[in-house]
Amino acid sequence: MQPATIKLFLTDGEPTGIRTAEISNWTGKAIAGPRSKLDEIRNREELTSPGVYFLTGIDPETDQPTLYVGEAESVSNRLRQHHQGSKEWSQLVAFICKDENLTKAHIRYLENELIQRAKYAKQSLLLNNANSGSSLPESDQAEMNVYLDKMLQLLPILGVDAFKTVNARSIKAAETDTTLHCDIKGLTAKGQLSDNGLIVFKGS
């Protein structure tokens, strides 16, 4: 990813409250916050626009992180429906475009790409039953892929780690110096610390 200057604004002064995030020279904008602040978030004018949103939480049965990826022509209205019909999520992040150039086809394309990446990363229990996807002209796809890269830069800062993947090659290269070993009662395990936590190697 390219170096980036990020502007993070705490609207109520609280680090766990409502936040907005922007990247210099990018038309996108993120709004994040807890479900307890949903009414305030939904009242933000920019969320009446088309956008992509993420709902995260913890599965009560498995303690596994959960993720729902959605798109809507009015993010605000769609969030109200989720609040009335779903209990699994506690945090939300929504992305809109400040110049209002996101169309229905654009947000469907982004939703599909994000769902596929979340499936590949396997960091969260994905709650989506299906995704619509959308065919875009080549130039629009290139534009949305740039938008997608910026989203993926901001998401971990806003508390969404569902798209991080483990680079097996980099782990193999660094294994000699940073590998952790554990030998207890005849059981042997090896692993390595990473940005995602402790990675336990296959065969442990």
Decide if 51 contacts 96 (C-beta within 8 A): yes
d(CA 29, CA 7): 10
The reported pLDDT for the residue numbered 144 is: 96
Q: Containing H/E element for 54? A: strand 51-58
Q: Report yes or no: 156 and 164 within 8 Å, Cβ to Cβ.
A: yes
Angle at the Cα of 134 from the Cα atoms of 139 and 117, rounded to 5 degrees: 90
Structure tokens at 127: 């709650």
| 0.85 surpassed by pTM | no
Q: What is the pLDDT of residues 67-101, one digit of tens each?
A: 999 999 999 999 999 888 777 899 999 999 999 88
Parallel, antiparallel, or unpaired for β 125-126 and 65-72?
parallel
Question: What is the distance between the alpha carbons of residues 57 and 36, in angstroms, rounded to a whole number?
Answer: 13
Output the six-digit token pair for 175.
């294994």
Query: What spatial distance separates the first Cα and last Cα of the chain, rounded to whole Å?
Result: 32
Name the helix (H) or strand (E) containing 93.
Answer: strand 91-97
The per-residue pLDDT for 202 is 81
Q: What pLDDT, in 10s, does the model give residues 166-178?
A: 655 544 555 556 7
* Residue 130, pLDDT score: 72
Sign of torsion, CA 143 149 154 158?
A: positive
**Chain centroid to CA 46:** 19
CA distance 70 to 68: 6
Query: Do 126 and 115 meet the contact criterion of CB atoms below 8 Å apart?
Result: yes
pLDDT values of the chain reduced to their tens digit, one per residue, 204 residues: 789 999 999 999 999 999 999 999 999 999 999 999 999 999 999 999 999 999 999 998 999 999 999 999 999 999 999 888 777 899 999 999 999 889 999 999 999 999 999 999 999 999 987 767 788 999 999 999 999 999 999 999 999 999 987 655 544 555 556 788 788 877 888 887 766 567 788 888
pLDDT of residue 171: 44
Question: Contact, 38 vs 78, CB < 8 A?
Answer: no
What is the domain partition of the chain in residue ranges?
6-154, 168-200
What pLDDT is attached to residue 165? 77
pLDDT for position 134 = 81
